[in-house]
Amino acid sequence: MRVAEFWEDEMHKSLSKTIAVTALFATVLFGLSNTARADALDKIKADGKIRVSIDPAAPPYSVLDETGKFIGSEVDVAQKLAKDWNLELEVVPTAAANRIPYLLSGKTDIVISTLSITDERKKVIDFSKPYSAIQIVVGARKDDGLSKIEELVGKQVAVTRGSTTDTEITKAALPGTNIVRFEDDSTSITARETICPGSS
C-alpha cells in the first residue's frame, strides 16, 4: 500500500467513526432529542449529500486553482469519503473563524480544514485521529534578526483570526506587541507586503 493510500485510509476510518459524533455534538447543543441525534448520520446519507467545511486558502491542504476548483490533500480526503459513502460532496468555503460555528449551526456536516485539536474546542465538538502536524512559528525578514518572543514588542504580527496561531500568539505575546488579525489565511499570508514591505 502506498503511503498516500494508507494516510487516506486511516483518515477515512477516523472520519467514518467521527462524522456522526461531530454531527451529534452540534445537535446536542441545540437540544434535539436522543432519537434526532442518533439519526444525524442517517439523515446525511438519506439526503445523498455531505457538506464539508474546507478553507480555500490553506495550501497544500486546500486551495482554489486557477479555474476556481478546490484542490489539495484535504479535498482529496473529502472526495474519498463522499465516494465511499456514495454521497454528493458539497464543499463549503470556510475561514478559520467560522469553521466551528458553521458546524454547530448545521450549515456543514463535518470540518476537514486544518482544525487543530485544543481543549477549548473539545468542549463543543469531537475530533478524529490527527492526520497531520503543524508547527507554529513566527516568520520575519532575515535582516530583522528576530529570535525571541520579547523582540516582537513594538512589531506588527499578522495572524488569521480564530486560528490556533491567533490563540497561541495572543497568549505568548508581551504587552506592546501589535497583533494584526486577518479574516483568512490567504489575506494573512499576503499581508507581509504591508507589514514587511520589500519581503519576498
In a domain, 61, yes or no: yes
Let me know whether 160 and 180 are in one domain: yes
Q: What is the pTM of this model?
A: 0.62
16-48 in b/e form (b: 16+ CB < 10 A) is eebbbbbbbbbbeeeeeeeeebebbbeebeeee
Let me know whether 114 and 77 are in one domain: yes
Residues 6 or more apart from 43 whose CB is under 8 A from it? none
More confident residue, 167 or 26: 167
In a domain, 131, yes or no: no
How, if at all, do strands 70-71 and 62-64 pair?
A: antiparallel
What is the pLDDT confidence band of residue 187, given thresholds at 50, 70 and 90? confident
Task: Tell me, rounded to whole angstroms, the distance of Cα 183 from its chain centroid.
Answer: 13
Let me know whether 58 and 39 are in one domain: no
What is the count of structural domains for the chain? 3
List the CATH number of the domain containing 189: 3.40.190.10
Q: Is the peptide bond before 130 cis (omega within 30 degrees of 0)?
A: no
Q: CA 167, CA 156: separation in Å to the nearest integer?
A: 16
* Structural domain boundaries enclosing 148: 142-195
Secondary structure letter of residue 174 according to DSSP: P
The C-alpha cell that represents 158 in the structure block: 499578522
pLDDT digits (tens, 9 = 90+) for 36-64: 545 677 888 889 999 999 988 888 888 88
In a domain, 152, yes or no: yes
pLDDT at residue 33 above 70? no
Let me know whether 111 and 157 are in one domain: no
